[in-house]
Each structure stands twice: as C-alpha cells, then as structure tokens.
C-alpha cells in the first residue's frame, strides 16, 4: 500500500511518522501542562485537596497589587545588566581568541568549561567562594587587597551583584563559543581587503566583525531578557532568595509549594510567560525593521 503512493506522498508519510514521537513528547510534557497551569491560575488550590475554588482574575490582581509578589521582578534588572555585560565580555574574548596568539585551544576550553558544569554544583561551589574567609577573601588577602573584603552575600546591598557575577561566569561560555564560530566564518578575503585598505584592528572589528555577528547578537539579546526574568537556580541554591536576592520565579515556587497557594503560583508563572512573549514580539519587530 505504501509503495502505491507517489514519491512525494511517501516522503510526507515518513516525515510525519518521524515527527510523531517528538511531537508527542512536546504535547504531553510541555503544552498540556501549560494549558493545565493556565486553568489553575484562575482557581484557589492548596496542591493536594480535592477542592479547587474558582476565583477568576483575583490571583492576577493580587500579583500586581501586592508588592510582596512583584518586587522580586526588580531583581531581574541586575541579571539583565549582567547579561548585557556577559555579551560584551564574550564578544571581546571571541575577537581576542580569533587573532594570532599562543595557547588558543587551552583558553577556548577554559572559557567554555564553566558552561558544561552542572548548575547546582556551580552554585554550591560559589557559596564557599563567597563565605567569610572563603576563597574570594583569601585571594584578596594574598593580593594585599584585604581592605576590599565585604560580606559578599551577607550584605544585602551587594548580594545581587555577587549572584549576577556567578551567573555571568556560568553562562559566558556559550556566548563565547557561538561568537567565536561566527567570527571565524567571516571570509578571509574581506579581511585581506580591509588590510590592503589600511584598516586598523579596531576599525576591522567595528565594520566587519560586528555586523557579521549581528543576528546572533539579536538572538542573544532576547535570550538575555527571558533569562533575566526567569532566574532561579543560582539564587535559590546559594541563598534561597533570602536577604533581598529573591527573584520572581523563586517567589512563584515558594508561593505554590511553601505557602500552598498553587493558583496564585500558576498565575505568576503565566505572567512570566507573557512578559517573555511580549519581549520576543518587540525584539522581532524592532530588529526586523532595522533590517
């Protein structure tokens, strides 16, 4: 029966069959739970009781009325700025490692390595790094900069900077490798032509390299926004969100599971989804027009 179909039709059938399994996973583990959560955001439920009380938009109103719930959103700004800094540093390192220097492979591996580590392990290591008389304090003392020692996590004014720093260290590897790949794909003839025209290194970066990584920059910008809104792992494991380091997603998890208000927690998760969605749309419009 299969042989009787035209080649095009056979192709279609094979493609559909192969797509069936991943689609099944996507629907069962992503879309269905998301739809269920959307429904949960309109009820009041403690997570296990048989009773779910319908409350309409009350959960959403609570999120925007009660500062307890929307204040942690402000902490995302630290991670957003950190993310931008991350892009700049990653680009700089990629440009550096594209030039003629010794030991390229070692440095490439060193910069990429943190990204391969498990996020929980990274968070636990940095707790020891930042604790009083821990690694950072010891290094500063050895360098004679003991006067700069602060309570990196104990001081609520700088705790978010410390955590954003950990985030930069953790995720810079991916940006770096992607930028490096894009830079290396620039045609060598263009570089030669620029050399012949007498362009300086800086001019080459500005007018050749930067435009060639433009589309990656755009993608990373949107990832930075969605990453900053949904920061969870690093602050949750290092400080569980205490001392002013709480983020919106940490608040969501606590609301749903500690305070047993699953409806409110689901509403908060929907808010994250909407924010990221809006950011994506804006970025698409903005960057598409620029082209």
Give 45 or 79: the residue with its C-beta nearer to other proteins: 45
- What whole-number distance in Å separates Cα of residue 19 and Cα of residue 26? 11
Burial of 169 (0-12, 13-18, 19+ CB in 10 A): middle
Residues of this chain, 94-153, that bind other proteins according to CB under 8 A: 127, 130-132, 134, 151, 153
Report the run of H or E that residue 129 belongs to, with start and end.
Answer: helix 119-130
Asked whether 226 and 279 are in contact (CB, 8 A), the reply is yes
Q: Does 212 bind other proteins (CB under 8 A)?
A: no
Give the other-Cβ count within 10 Å of 263's Cβ. 26
Encoded tokens for 23: 């689609």
* 237-256 footprint of other proteins as x/- string (CB under 8 A): --xx-xxx---------xx-
* 38-67 footprint of other proteins as x/- string (CB under 8 A): --------xxxxx-----------------
- What whole-number distance in Å separates Cα of residue 72 and Cα of residue 254? 12
Q: Which of 288, 87, 96, 88 is nearest to 183 (CA)?
A: 96
Q: How far is the CB of 149 from other proteins (least distance, A)?
A: 11
DSSP code, position 213: T
Encoded tokens for 257: 């599971």
Q: How far is the CB of 174 from other proteins (least distance, A)?
A: 28
Give 41 or 137: the residue with its C-beta nearer to other proteins: 137
Give 40 or 276: the residue with its C-beta nearer to other proteins: 40
Q: How far is the CB of 156 from other proteins (least distance, A)?
A: 7
Give 162 or 230: the residue with its C-beta nearer to other proteins: 162
How does strand 53-54 pair with strand 43-44?
A: antiparallel
Q: Does 1 bind other proteins (CB under 8 A)?
A: no
Name the segment binding other proteins (CB under 8 A); options: 17-25, 99-107, 185-193, 220-228: 17-25
- What whole-number distance in Å separates Cα of residue 111 and Cα of residue 92? 12
- What whole-number distance in Å separates Cα of residue 108 and Cα of residue 102? 11
Residues lying near other proteins in the complex (CB under 8 A): 2, 14, 17-18, 20-21, 24, 46-50, 68, 127, 130-132, 134, 151, 153-154, 156, 159, 239-240, 242-244, 254-255, 257-261
């Amino acid at each position: 029966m299969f042989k009787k179909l035209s080649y095009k039709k056979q192709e279609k059938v094979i493609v559909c069959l192969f797509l069936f399994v991943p689609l099944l996973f996507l629907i069962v583990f992503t879309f269905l739970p998301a739809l269920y959560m959307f429904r949960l955001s309109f009820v009041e439920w403690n997570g296990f009781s048989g009773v779910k009380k319908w409350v309409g938009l009350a959960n959403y109103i609570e999120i925007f009325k009660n500062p307890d719930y929307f204040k942690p959103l402000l902490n995302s700004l630290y991670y957003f700025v950190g993310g931008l800094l991350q892009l700049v540093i990653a680009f700089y390192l990629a440009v550096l490692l594209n030039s003629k220097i010794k030991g390229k492979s070692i440095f490439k591996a060193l910069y990429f390595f943190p990204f391969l580590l498990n996020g929980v392990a990274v968070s636990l290591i940095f707790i020891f790094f930042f604790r009083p008389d821990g690694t950072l304090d010891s290094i500063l003392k050895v360098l004679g900069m003991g006067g700069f020692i602060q309570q990196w996590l104990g001081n609520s004014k700088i705790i978010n900077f410390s955590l954003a720093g950990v985030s930069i260290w953790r995720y810079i590897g991916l940006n770096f490798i992607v930028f490096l790949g894009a830079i290396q794909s620039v045609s060598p003839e263009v570089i030669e032509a620029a050399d012949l025209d007498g362009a300086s290194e800086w001019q080459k970066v500005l007018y050749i390299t930067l435009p060639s990584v433009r589309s990656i920059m755009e993608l990373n910008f949107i990832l930075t926004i969605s990453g900053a809104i949904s920061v969870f792992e690093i602050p949750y494991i290092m400080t569980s969100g205490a001392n002013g380091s709480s983020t919106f997603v940490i608040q969501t998890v606590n609301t749903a599971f500690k305070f047993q208000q699953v409806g409110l927690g689901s509403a908060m998760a929907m808010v994250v989804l909407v924010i990221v969605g809006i950011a994506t749309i804006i970025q698409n419009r903005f960057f598409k027009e620029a082209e």
